A = this chain, B = another copy of it.
Amino acid sequence: MELGQHISQRYNEELEDIRSKVLKMGGMVELQAENAVKSLLSHDRGLAKEVATTDSKINAMEMEIDEDCIRVIARRQPTARDLRLVIAVSKVITDLERIGDEAEKIALYSKKLAKKKTTIGMHADLTHLSELVLNILHDSLDAFARMDADQAVKILGSDKQVNVEFDNLSRLSITFMMEDPRQIKGTLRVNWCARSLERIAEHAQNICEYVIFLVKGKDVRHTSLEHIRSKYFPHDLDEETEENQAG
């Protein structure tokens, strides 16, 4: 993204500084989510503990960036795109922090699950869901880093797939619980982890909505994907029509 160029070099630096801090925070949160998933799938209690203790650094970053945003608004009185950047950042970091919270929850459950390796029967489904969610998170952060609204709008369409994977896992877990009631407690924990993964995808999609707001200047929350595409990304439709005609 090219930030607006200002006469004040210091102002440019301040905006760039905020942006790079968000990217750093995003990297930390992504690593947390990856490690939480890894600890869950490989029954790694040590890694789970590590995830549970890293959360405070992410929290500190959220507060620091929020302070920076308020300071820039008060001192520089940004307008137009700069203001949208600061407002979007202040929202994005809330979602990032909550992704960190969900990663911590997964880690806490995976600590408890590691002993009995309860996840084994659900390993394939849990892996599918995890990979999908981690990809969505990665792509969302990438869309933010590159201020790529086209990529952001593509990610917004991925929630249906998350629902499918989540429902698959949920159904499987019910059969496990019915077959062996002793597995109920553990399986319930796997379900909580799946729920947290689902939330991570939701937060990642919120981030995408803020990227579109930032780039296009339009608030696309609570707007149907079809409407977003036709209104702000008409070239996507053209491409699809061309593909259809070609095929």
A77 to B, closest residue via Cβ: B77
A59 to B, closest residue via Cβ: B222
A35 to chain B, nearest CB (A): 20
Within 8 Å of chain B (Cβ to Cβ): is A87? yes
State the number of copies, please: 2
Q: Interface size for chain A: under 10, 10 to 19, 20 to 34, or 35 or more residues?
A: 20 to 34
Query: Contact at B184–A60, with CB atoms within 8 Å?
Result: no
Chain B residues closer than 8 Å to A67, beta-carbon distance: 219
- Partner of A221 from the list B62, B73, B77, B191 (CB cut-off 8 Å) is B62
A26 to chain B, nearest CB (A): 18
A56-79 residues at the B interface, CB under 8 angstroms: 56, 59-60, 62-63, 66-67, 69-70, 73-74, 77, 79
- Partner of A74 from the list B60, B74, B83 (CB cut-off 8 Å) is B83
- Partner of A191 from the list B77, B83, B188, B219 (CB cut-off 8 Å) is B188
Within 8 Å of chain B (Cβ to Cβ): is A247? no
Within 8 Å of chain B (Cβ to Cβ): is A32? no
A151-184 residues at the B interface, CB under 8 angstroms: 170, 174, 177-178, 181, 184
Within 8 Å of chain B (Cβ to Cβ): is A185? yes
A77-100 residues at the B interface, CB under 8 angstroms: 77, 79-80, 83-84, 87, 90-91, 94
A61 to chain B, nearest CB (A): 10
Query: Contact at A185–B195, with CB atoms within 8 Å?
Result: no
Query: Contact at A70–B87, with CB atoms within 8 Å?
Result: yes
Chain B residues closer than 8 Å to A94, beta-carbon distance: 91, 94
A90-119 residues at the B interface, CB under 8 angstroms: 90-91, 94
In the bound complex, CA of A174 to CA of B189 (Å): 11
Chain B residues closer than 8 Å to A63, beta-carbon distance: 219, 221-222
A216 to chain B, nearest CB (A): 14
Chain B residues closer than 8 Å to A84, beta-carbon distance: 70
Contacts beyond the supplied A62-B222, A63-B219: 17 A-B pairs with Cβ under 8 Å: A63-B222, A66-B219, A70-B83, A70-B84, A70-B87, A73-B83, A73-B87, A74-B80, A74-B83, A87-B90, A90-B91, A177-B177, A177-B181, A177-B184, A178-B181, A181-B181, A188-B188
